[in-house]
């Protein structure tokens, strides 16, 4: 639960710059919702994983509707999270370790790390000056200085 709360705070901090603000806020809300689900839900019940899958599906739908590369990246990772939940449910249904049961926690943590890597372009854009070269002034000349 502490890890989910830390991820929510990291995504909230990444939402401060204007670029990809909606995507990072969506991911923060997703992690806060899963944190609340962990705190108040039964970790062994079917309802626990169903609500988590519902949160992941809603977040993936919203992120894919944003039509940005960061949103698409995060939506793809949430699709992998949904796939991991489906594989875990398959293992529960058969009562043995067939697909993912013994490695489920490692897979989910790996996917969360991939989600955190997805905010690096947002952080980079905050500290990178796009117009530092002289090409901007020569490419977009004022009307009275055009040839």
Residue pLDDT, tens place only, 56-68: 999 999 999 988 8
Burial class of residue 146, CB neighbours in 10 A (0-12, 13-18, 19+): exposed
- Gyration radius of the chain over CA positions: 20
| Lowest mean per-residue pLDDT among 3-12, 18-27, 41-50, 105-114 | 41-50
Name the residue among 6, 62, 71 with its Cα closest to residue 34: 6
Average pLDDT along the chain: 84
Q: Is the pLDDT of residue 147 over 90?
A: no
* Domain ranges for the chain: 2-127
Q: In percent, how much of the chain has pLDDT > 90?
A: 46
What mean pLDDT is predicted for residues 14-24?
Answer: 87
Residue 117: its pLDDT value, please?
92
pLDDT in tens, 110-136: 999 999 998 887 777 666 655 555 555
Residue where the block lists tokens 């939940």: 85
Lowest mean per-residue pLDDT among 28-32, 52-56, 68-72, 142-146: 142-146
Q: Which residue has the tokens 């899963």?
A: 34
- Per-residue pLDDT of 3-18, as tens digits, reads 999 999 999 998 888 8
């Amino acid at each position: 639960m502490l890890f989910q709360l830390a991820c929510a705070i990291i995504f909230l901090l990444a939402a401060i710059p204007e670029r990809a603000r909606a995507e990072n806020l969506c991911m923060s809300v997703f992690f806060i919702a899963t944190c609340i689900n962990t705190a108040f839900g039964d970790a062994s019940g079917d309802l626990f994983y169903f609500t988590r899958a519902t949160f992941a599906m809603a977040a993936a739908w919203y992120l894919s509707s944003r039509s940005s590369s960061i949103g698409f990246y995060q939506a793809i990772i949430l699709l992998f999270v949904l796939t991991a939940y489906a594989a875990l449910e398959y293992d529960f249904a058969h009562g043995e370790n067939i697909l993912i049961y013994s490695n489920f926690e490692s897979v989910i943590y790996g996917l969360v790390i991939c989600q955190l890597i997805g905010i690096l372009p947002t952080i980079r854009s905050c500290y990178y000056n796009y117009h530092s070269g002289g090409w901007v002034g020569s490419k977009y000349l004022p009307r009275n200085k055009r040839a």
